[in-house]
Chains A and B, each alone.
Chain A
Amino acid sequence: MKTLRYFAARLTGHVLRLFVRFLTAVRADWRGIEPVPRQRVYFANHVSNGDMPMIWSVLPPALRRTVRPVAAADYWLANPVRAFVGPEVFNCVLIDRRPEVNDKPMDKIIEALDDGASLIIFPEGGRNMTEDPLIPFKAGLYNMGLARPEVDLVPTWIANLNSIMPKGEVIPLPLICTVTFGAPIHVEEGESKDDFLVRAANALAALRPDAHKSDWSATPKPKPEPAE
């Protein structure tokens, strides 16, 4: 039974990858790194549920086998199909976002890194619904970089997905999607959390195809003060 599920997962993975490739002709642009099997954390912008399968599909087989997307348990365990696809096809590291659960997400992430896995994470913490290219990063990326400084943190920009499948639409448009991998960054000696997160966001935003056209400063806006 276990073997059968394993093969079903592999097959589903192939079908999904072919579907993504046919529909969006997704292309990898290895601008800052080579597609070689090194331990990496790919951190990407997040506008659509298609983001993670898109990165997963462009990775060459040797890299895809060792990569584990970090994803929300409440989404991927919501029904039996997702519970199969998330943990078994994509081999997700599932994180429980519910505040009442005393689950330490960072422990699971560090454990996966210590097992030798590469990770895909979305440091904005959720889908970006704003007009801005990025929303401020959560601390997770910094904590990973601090705990395992030898791991490459690779900025990964996914272009066009917002038009392929905007929130609320059902039919995906077959537009060409490009995934750009930038030069890796690391947490530097004595770098503060906020400095690092701004630097990481800038490194990611610099990979946008229209980055040169826009006058946007590539700096995440300061968080609005919570209402009194």
Chain B
Amino acid sequence: MTPNVPDIPMDSTTADLLLLVLGVMGIMLALTLLGEFLRSRQTAGEQSPILDTYITRVQSWWAIVILVGLALISGQVGVIILFLFASFSALREFLTLTTKAQADHMSLALGFFAVLPLQYVFVWMDWAELFTLFIPVYAFLLLPIVSALRGDTDRFLIRIAETQWGLMIAVYCLSHVPALITVEIAGYEGRTTLLIAFLVLVVQFGDLLEYFFGRRIGKTKVAPKLSPKTREGMICGVISAMLIGGLLSWITPFGVFGAMVIAGIISLVGMLGNIVFAAIKRDRGVKDWSHLIPGQGGFVDQLDSVIFAAPVFYHLTVLVWT
């Protein structure tokens, strides 16, 4: 069952996706060759942790590019399965670090095994009224009831609040990425998968360039206690993201100007989201959310900016262009 039967033949969308994936792979190839070149210039026995981390990260990016590329080309079901697993991994990382008691066992189990899959079923069925309200209303009200009925009041508000935050971040926000496929825009039928490519490319390359410029010319730290991000790096990153958005405007229904504005907004929101996650990590005394992605830490470390940018991008798109 595919709720969105494309009006325009999928061929042009698939061709555009292939072009994007090949383009990104070209950039990845250049980054890989750069790493190998730097390594070849190392003298025997020389250790360079920065280069080692860089090469490990490039390898993880390859895996991510191939997985996301395959999912996008395969269509809605592939994208939903990919993000279902991403949500599961992110929720697992998040709830590992939250406050909980045995009284929350059933509500946490419901979060993992009922709320999470149901949210993705609603996205798949294109039931927008439900997937935008299910977690903020029904999970929000139901799970504290389940915990309260067990009678343990110790740190009760902290426990239920942190659980809800985990579900909002790892499931609700992240599920807005596959939900982009279900957006209906006149004249853009059958091409909505490209919105996901736009979101991911703009946010991730914006982050990458923010990091690059921050290392080069960064001076003023934005949140010195918890994040290495600098004002100069973020400004350059957002401008780069706007330029990338403008270059990618041909895959969107936004037009060049609209694509640049929306790219700037989602890139900025993503970077600020990264700072919020850095604050949570600092609070919990961890450096990374987990160890599952070599060189990057956990799924939440990799997805943090996309998690913040996705719902904003989804709502701006629905608000302005439908």
Contacts and interface: CB of A to CB of B under 8 A. Distances in A.
Contacts of B89: 25
Interface stretch (A35-43, A60-68, A101-109, A167-175): A167-175
B170 to A, nearest CB: 12
Interface string A107-135: 00000000000000000000000000000
A166 interface: yes
B213 to A, nearest CB: 34
A186 interface: no
Given A166-B102, A166-B105, A174 B290 contact: no
Nearest to A27: B291
A25 B105 contact: no
A140 B178 CA distance: 56
Contacts of A173: 95, 105, 108-109, 112
Interface in A169-191: 169, 171, 173-176
A175 B285 contact: no
Contacts, number: 34
Given A25-B290, A171-B113, A176 B105 contact: no
Contacts of A213: 285
B96 A160 contact: yes
Interface of A: 25, 27, 160, 163, 166, 168-169, 171, 173-176, 210, 213
B102 A169 contact: yes
Interface in B75-102: 88-89, 92-93, 95-96, 100, 102
B50 to A, nearest CB: 23
Given A173-B105, A213-B285, A163 B93 contact: no
Given A171-B109, A213-B285, A176 B102 contact: no
A169 B285 CA distance: 29
Interface residues of B, number: 18
B105, B108, B290, B291: which has the most chain A beta carbons within 10 Å? B105
B292 interface: yes
Contact of B292 (A25, A168, A171): A25
Interface in B152-201: none
Contact of B100 (A163, A168, A210): A163
A27 B88 CA distance: 17
Contact of B105 (A27, A160, A169): A169
Contacts of A168: 102
Interface in B97-128: 100, 102, 105-106, 108-109, 112-113
A174 B92 contact: yes
- Smallest CB-CB A-B distances: 6 pairs: A176-B96, A166-B102, A171-B109, A175-B96, A169-B105, A174-B92
Nearest to B291: A27
A176 B109 contact: no
Given A25-B290, A25-B292, A27-B291, A175 B95 contact: yes
A176 B290 contact: yes
Given A163-B100, A171-B109, 15 more contacts: A25-B89, A25-B292, A27-B291, A166-B102, A168-B102, A169-B102, A171-B105, A171-B106, A171-B113, A173-B95, A173-B108, A173-B109, A174-B88, A176-B93, A210-B285
Contacts of B95: 173, 175
B96, B112, B291: which has the most chain A beta carbons within 10 Å? B96
A175 B89 CA distance: 9
Contacts of B291: 27
Nearest to B108: A173
B92 to A, nearest CB: 5
A223 B88 CA distance: 43
A171 B112 CA distance: 11
A45 B43 CA distance: 46
A9 B291 CA distance: 30
Contacts of A163: 100
Nearest to B109: A171
Contacts of A174: 88, 92, 112
A25 B289 CA distance: 12
A27, A168, A173: which has the most chain B beta carbons within 10 Å? A173
Contacts of B92: 25, 174-176
